[in-house]
Chain A
Amino acid sequence: SQQGEEDPQALSIQEGENATMNCSYKTSINNLQWYRQNSGRGLVHLILIRSNEREKHSGRLRVTLDTSKKSSSLLITASRAADTASYFCATDAWGDSNYQLIWGAGTKLIIKP
């Protein structure tokens, strides 16, 4: 079942601004991942943060994880038109030997030029 929830469902900002989207989950996790999906395409992995990490950076991306609140945030700095996409968080449930990811419903991000 989809236990992850992204917030907001949709976000529209001007190019150059920062975009922040949030993810909440329900179970204890091994790690949390963020993916991007351009319209009509497959998902592309952006970043993985492990349960014992609090913050991770990759280029213009910054991810935080608060396991006490069961939440994560993805910050995209200095947004570009090419960042227009849907963003999904996914979690690995602790102890799941089938390595299934639990997916959120996604945040649709639109960058206006």
Chain B
Amino acid sequence: NAGVTQTPKFRVLKTGQSMTLLCAQDMNHEYMYWYRQDPGMGLRLIHYSVGEGTTAKGEVPDGYNVSRLKKQNFLLGLESAAPSQTSVYFCASRLGWDEQFFGPGTRLTVL
């Protein structure tokens, strides 16, 4: 049981490049979330999904897109990376009214 995994762990992009972050969970959770965490700050919700094939915007969705084609996977895309998107990205999942399980994070730097 791997829990929540994220790939890649680290990435450096140049301004304008695109990339996709992959989140996978093996706990059969319906709800999945993408957060970003800037240095010394708390979590801010980018997008979330309440089930396969559904996505919704969170607090800071601009510049990001997501897809949930399979229940176990939640992809976060950056179409044209900007330095303001330099951050640590966390994926999380939960079953319902209980704890969220977090992945180890992806550290992204945009030059």
A2 CB contact (under 8 Å) in B44, B92, B98 = B44
Q: Which residue of A lies closest to B54 (CB)?
A: A98
**Chain B interface, number of residues (Cβ within 8 angstroms):** 28
Does the CB pair B42–A105 fall under 8 Å? yes
How many interface residues does chain A have, given as a range?
Answer: 20 to 34
Please report the C-alpha to C-alpha distance between residue A33 and residue B101 in the assembled complex, in whole angstroms: 12
Stretch from B11-19, B69-77, B79-87, B102-110 that touches the partner: B102-110
Residues in chain B near residue A90, CB distance under 8 A: 100
Give chain A interface residues in 27-72, CB to chain B under 8 Å.
30-31, 33, 40-45, 48
Main secondary structure of the interface of B (DSSP, over half): strand
B90 CB contact (under 8 Å) in A1, A43, A105 = A43
Q: Give the distance to chain A from B15, nearest Cβ to Cβ, in Å.
A: 25
Does the CB pair B102–A100 fall under 8 Å? no
B33 CB contact (under 8 Å) in A30, A31, A100 = A100
Known: A2-B42, A43-B90, A103-B42. A98 touches B104 (CB 8 A): no
Q: Interface on B for A, CB 8 Å cutoff?
A: 4, 31, 33, 41-45, 48, 50, 56, 58-59, 88, 90, 92, 94, 96-105, 107
Q: Interface on A for B, CB 8 Å cutoff?
A: 1-2, 30-31, 33, 40-45, 48, 88, 90, 92, 97-101, 103-106
- Can you identify 21 A-B contacts, CB atoms within 8 angstroms? A1-B59, A2-B42, A40-B88, A40-B105, A40-B107, A41-B104, A42-B4, A42-B105, A44-B102, A45-B100, A45-B101, A98-B31, A98-B50, A98-B56, A99-B96, A99-B97, A100-B45, A100-B58, A105-B42, A106-B41, A106-B42
